[in-house]
Amino acid sequence: MTPAPGGAPSPRVAITGLGLVTPIGIGKDETWAALLAGRSGFAPVESFDTSAFSVHVGAEVRGFDASPYFRRLDPASVGRASGLAIAAARLALDDAGLDEAAMDPREAVRAGVAMGTTSGEPREVERFDDAVLAGALDRIGPEFLARYPCHTIAAAIARELGFGGVNAMLPTACAAGNYAIAHAADAIAAGRAHLMLAGGADAFSRITYTGFARLGAIAPERCQPFDRGRLGMIPGEGAAVIVLEPLARALARGARIYAELAGYGLSCDAHHMTAAHPEGEGAVLAMARALSASGAAPEDVAYVSAHGTGTPTNDRLEVLAFRRVFGAGAPRVPISSIKSMLGHTMGAASAIEAAACALAIATGRIPPTANLEDPEEADLDFVANRARERDVPLAMSNAYAFGGNNASILLRRWAPAGG
């Protein structure tokens, strides 16, 4: 047999809760309304001084206080990304109609967490660096080790909720959310957990901003995926958490089922650290593997959530890969990038996009690509600027990352009869 680095979870895995903390809204409803309305979250960066840069705009989660979402942990004991993640986790759990306080302890020890990130808690190392440069090593205390390592994000969620099952942190950069969702589905399918919170989180960071600025990748004002005039991405921050559980368990407890995770596909370009493969090789493989794992054909896909960062290179290669997979049918498949509104929320991005796909399936609406004035390829349907009413039985979400990591997931509408 030829192994495919992708999988279709068996037993089937249902998505029953969504928690979002984004630059354009707190919670599923607020964020979804903003996405459908085409509202963007770009503003001058507040969390550090950008005067040394030639760009100054970011997509921060402004004025957000995570502390109301904490019941057990001290909010000051964790870093910013963990705070965003705990808020998203609690929103997701509430959305799924679950309450950890009411959970049987035998269930809680089999409930797990899988989270993705790009930079983890970069503000903690930035504080460390400030102390070093100030010649004040004595300012560095036990909090650095307690708050900096990225696995503290997944650990903080589990501590806050009392979950004793699998606890995984996947720092696979900008595809990390999809990696975490895939891993969570595998844990459920293997019988190692019966409830998983999965997603991604990243905090706005001067290190990340500096890096993308040095790559010349940051747009000065707005993000315009798939537009001929696009000037780059806009760094952002946020968190998204999705509740995954065996379909049978979701049905037994009468949970609302947004969608099923139909399958996923992973690949590695093994080509370049920061540039995608010139023929989109890895991206094509990831999509093909996800389709094959889901038992679906390209023509079954009703919506593609693009990685769509808005950099000239990403979008060109992504369209190339999309055409290679969807062939002559490509113009009939709506493909949009919500990074046009959210900016690039790094490790949170594909988790937020997975939630958007679940909502597209559940509500029959497709969020637009905002700021699209002069589409790169006139024959393709980028869902320009306006949300679309459309039945979405099957959605694909693609994510690509530094290190050549590619991850595609497919979400399918759950239907009681024959589903």
Partner 1 sequence: MRRRVVVTGAGQVSPLADSTDGLAAALRAGASALSPIDLFETAGLPCRQACEVRGFDPAATLGARNLRPIDRSGRLLLVAAARALEASGLDAEAGRARGVGLALGTTFCSVRTIAEFDRRSLELGPSHASPLDFANCVINAAAGQAAIWHGLSGVNATLAGGETSGLAAIAYAALAISAGRADVMLAGGVEELSFESFLGHLRAGRLCGASDPQAGELPIPFDAKRNGFALGEGAALLMLEAREAAAARGAPVLAELLGHGEAFDPSGTEEGLAAAVERAIAAALDDAGLAPADVDCVFASANGSVAGDRAEALGIARALGARAAELPVAAIKAMLGEALGASGGLQAIGLLATLADGLLPGIRGLERVEAGFPLGGATAATRPVAARRGLVTAAGADGHAAALLLGGREDVE
Asked if 340 and 196 touch (Cβ cutoff 8 Å), the reply is no
Of 150, 183, 277, 307, the catalytic one is 307
Q: Specify the residue, 141 or 418, whose C-beta has the smaller distance to partner 1.
A: 141
DSSP-derived letter for residue 384 is B
Given the structure tokens 């000065």, which residue do they identify?
220
Provide, rounded to whole angstroms, the least separation between the CB of residue 313 and partner 1: 14
Among 63, 68, 141, 418, binds partner 1 (CB under 8 A): 141
Classify 342 as helix, strand or coil: helix
Give the CA distances from residue 250 to residues 140, 224, 358, in Å, rounded to whole numbers and listed in that order. 46, 39, 16
Q: Does residue 307 have an active-site annotation?
A: yes
Provide, rounded to whole angstroms, the least separation between the CB of residue 396 and partner 1: 18
Of 150, 174, 223, 357, the catalytic one is 174
Task: Tell me: does residue 172 bind partner 1 (CB under 8 A).
Answer: yes
Q: Specify the residue, 142 or 416, whose C-beta has the smaller distance to partner 1.
A: 142
Closest among 178, 354, 179 to 259, alpha carbons compared: 354
C-alpha span between 215 and 209 (Å, rounded): 10
Length of the chain in residues, anyone? Answer: 419
Task: Tell me: does residue 186 bind partner 1 (CB under 8 A).
Answer: yes
Provide, rounded to whole angstroms, the least separation between the CB of residue 33 and partner 1: 32
Of 183, 223, 277, 344, the catalytic one is 344
- Residue 328 makes CB contacts below 8 A (sequence gap 6+) with none
Task: Tell me: does residue 102 bind partner 1 (CB under 8 A).
Answer: no
- Residue 50 makes CB contacts below 8 A (sequence gap 6+) with 44, 56, 209
Q: Which stretch binds partner 1 (CB under 8 A): 56-64, 86-94, 140-148, 254-262?
A: 140-148
| Residues within window 117-136 making contact with partner 1, judged by CB under 8 A | 117-120, 122, 125-126, 128-130, 132-133
Question: Exposed, middle or buried by CB within 10 Å (0-12, 13-18, 19+), for 211?
Answer: middle
Type of residue found at 147? R
Q: Does residue 183 have an active-site annotation?
A: no
The string of DSSP letters for 233-255 reads B-BB-EEEEEEEEEHHHHHHTT-
Given the structure tokens 């990352």, which residue do they identify?
401
Q: Which stretch binds partner 1 (CB under 8 A): 196-204, 352-360, 379-387, 397-405?
A: 397-405
| Residues within window 187-206 making contact with partner 1, judged by CB under 8 A | 189-190, 192, 206
| Residues within window 259-288 making contact with partner 1, judged by CB under 8 A | 266-274, 282
Q: Specify the residue, 139 or 390, whose C-beta has the smaller distance to partner 1.
A: 139
Task: Tell me: does residue 5 bind partner 1 (CB under 8 A).
Answer: yes
Q: Which stretch binds partner 1 (CB under 8 A): 148-156, 298-306, 334-342, 411-419?
A: 148-156
Q: How many residues bind partner 1 (CB under 8 A)?
A: 83
* Pairing verdict, β 57-58 and 167-170: unpaired
| Residues within window 32-91 making contact with partner 1, judged by CB under 8 A | 52-53
Asked if 185 and 244 touch (Cβ cutoff 8 Å), the reply is yes
DSSP-derived letter for residue 194 is S
C-alpha span between 332 and 200 (Å, rounded): 31
| Residues within window 150-169 making contact with partner 1, judged by CB under 8 A | 150-152, 154-155, 158-159, 161-169
Q: Residue 365 pairs with which residues in a beta bridge? A: 389
Distance of CA 47 to the CA centre of its chain: 22
Q: Measure the CA dihedral 138/139/141/143, to 10°.
A: -170
Task: Tell me: does residue 173 bind partner 1 (CB under 8 A).
Answer: yes
| Residues within window 203-242 making contact with partner 1, judged by CB under 8 A | 206-208, 210-215
Q: Does residue 344 have an active-site annotation?
A: yes
Task: Tell me: does residue 390 bind partner 1 (CB under 8 A).
Answer: no
Provide, rounded to whole angstroms, the least separation between the CB of residue 164 and partner 1: 5
Q: Specify the residue, 122 or 238, whose C-beta has the smaller distance to partner 1.
A: 122
Task: Tell me: does residue 4 bind partner 1 (CB under 8 A).
Answer: yes
Catalytic residues: 174, 307, 344
